[in-house]
């Protein structure tokens, strides 16, 4: 059996065997080379943001840049998208700190036209998606001007959406420390309260439906009432000072009422007695009052039948004997009426049915007047006064030019045939009627 050849016999000349290669020295050299490359890379690179990303909107061409101030940019990074109406139109170029706010530089193409008062909002593409900046015209005010290169979107026109972490945190507070744990208790109590009360609950729901329907039907009146309350509140607010003065003066008025309590009680007691007496009077006179009203009913019925005739007759009463139409057709005062008035007493007495002849002696007529006793005259000197001239009517009356009234002393000559016992009344009556005996 021949011996197996060794590796040294098989190795070509000029090569060392593998067992004799210094592998530890090779590993140390490779580690040093890697460390040197890492130091060089770190020294020449500021981070992953410095690495250019392929593509991107508005990377070249006619572009303009605007800045936006945000209170919190979340995890927005450079090269994030800038969208208008959910369409990517630009990119975030730079994010820097400006005091206590973050200033974001946005790169937009010239073709994007936005108003000068545009708004900026940080949104998220999906639940776990990337952040982007949404630009839009203002919704609360009218768009003004046009956004241009170098313009700044102020802090009051920027906002952000709530983060998923914030929503989950609020939900955890609600589920852990809120009233969700009491829902089971509430459900159990509601089941206990409603068990066996189906009819009452259905009736309650029906009544609630009717009530809500009534409110819906009276919606305009309810709104009008609320408006009225609003106007009343405005008036009360305008008169607040007057109301305050009235409230301040109210204690004084209450003190006066308290001081006059005794008089008020007496007045109310007297009013009670008056009420009792009035009730008694009404009770006793109700039959008469009813009879009077029943007697008045025919009169009122006839007045009702008269209708418009009664007011028309009252109008004619003011212009009698002419109506309103004839008065408008006549010209002149007093409707051209000419009146001749006869003021002769004998004619007037004859028209009234009074006898004008003087009464005869011994016959029926006027009774003789009683004799006036002679009274002593006071000793007073009366100055001489001129007597009035005698009127023609008195001269032709046949009575001596004097007009005498029975029972009164006449001045001047007496009527012939007169006596001291008052028999001169015949001549006086003849003088009164304007002449002697017929």
pLDDT at residue number 351: 75
pLDDT at residue number 123: 92
Q: Which residues contact 253 (CB under 8 A, 6 or more apart)?
A: none
Backbone conformation region of residue 394, classed left if phi is above 0, alpha if psi is from -120 to 50, else beta: alpha
pLDDT at residue number 62: 87
The residue ranges of the chain whose pLDDT is under 70 are 1-58, 177-181, 318-322, 324-338, 356-438
Orientation angle between helical segments 240-259 and 261-306, nearest 10 degrees: 110
> Hey, where are the domains in the chain?
56-161, 342-359+393-411+422-438
pLDDT at residue number 417: 45
Q: What are the φ and ψ backbone dihedral angles of 304, each rounded to 5 degrees? A: -65, -40
Task: Identify the helix (H) or strand (E) that includes residue 337.
Answer: none
pLDDT at residue number 152: 93
pLDDT at residue number 328: 66
Closest CA to 96 of 86, 87, 88, 105: 105
pLDDT, mean over the chain: 75
**CA–CA separation, 118 and 386 (whole Å):** 119
pLDDT at residue number 271: 93
Strand 158-160 relative to strand 152-153, pairing: unpaired
pLDDT at residue number 190: 86
pLDDT at residue number 162: 85
The one-character DSSP state at 299 is: H
Summarize pLDDT for 224-265 with one digit per residue, the tens: 999 999 999 999 999 999 999 999 999 988 999 899 999 999
């Amino acid at each position: 059996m021949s011996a197996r050849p060794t590796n040294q016999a098989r190795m070509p000349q000029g090569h060392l065997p593998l067992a004799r290669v210094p592998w530890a020295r090779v590993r140390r050299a490779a580690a040093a080379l890697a460390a040197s490359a890492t130091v060089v890379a770190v020294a020449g690179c500021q981070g992953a943001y410095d690495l250019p990303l392929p593509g991107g909107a508005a990377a070249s061409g006619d572009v303009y840049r605007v800045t936006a101030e945000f209170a919190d940019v979340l995890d927005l990074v450079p090269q994030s998208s800038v969208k208008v109406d959910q369409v990517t139109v630009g990119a975030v170029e730079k994010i820097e700190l400006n005091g206590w706010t973050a200033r974001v530089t946005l790169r937009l193409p010239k073709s994007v036209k936005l108003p000068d008062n545009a708004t900026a909002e940080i949104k998220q593409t999906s639940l776990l998606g990337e952040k982007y900046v949404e630009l839009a015209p203002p919704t609360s005010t009218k768009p003004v001007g046009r956004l241009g290169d170098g313009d700044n979107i102020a802090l009051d026109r920027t906002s952000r959406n709530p983060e998923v972490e914030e929503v989950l945190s609020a939900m955890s507070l609600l589920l852990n420390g809120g009233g969700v744990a009491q829902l089971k208790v509430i459900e159990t109590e509601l089941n206990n309260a409603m068990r066996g009360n189906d009819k009452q609950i259905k009736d309650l729901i029906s009544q609630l439906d009717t009530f809500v329907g009534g409110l819906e039907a009276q919606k305009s009146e309810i709104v009008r009432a609320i408006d009225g309350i609003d106007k009343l509140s405005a008036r009360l607010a305008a008169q607040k000072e007057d109301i305050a003065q009235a409230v301040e003066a109210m204690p004084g008025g209450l003190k006066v009422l308290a001081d006059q309590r005794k008089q008020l009680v007496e007045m109310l007691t007297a009013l009670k007695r008056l009420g009792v007496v009035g009730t008694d009077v009404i009770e006793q006179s109700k039959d008469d009052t009813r009879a009077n009203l029943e007697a008045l009913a025919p009169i009122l019925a006839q007045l009702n039948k008269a209708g418009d005739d009664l007011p028309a007759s009252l109008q004619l009463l003011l212009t009698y004997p002419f109506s309103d139409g004839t008065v408008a057709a006549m010209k002149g005062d007093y409707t051209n009426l000419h009146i001749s008035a006869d003021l002769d007493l004998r004619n007037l007495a004859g028209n009234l049915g009074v006898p004008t002849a003087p009464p005869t002696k011994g016959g029926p007529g006027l009774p003789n007047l009683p004799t006036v006793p002679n009274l002593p005259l006071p000793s007073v000197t009366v100055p001489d006064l001129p007597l009035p001239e005698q009127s023609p009517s008195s001269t032709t009356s046949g009575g001596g030019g004097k007009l005498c009234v029975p029972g009164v002393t006449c001045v001047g000559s007496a009527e012939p045939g007169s006596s001291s016992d008052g028999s001169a009344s015949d001549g006086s009556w003849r003088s009164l009627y304007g002449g002697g005996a017929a």
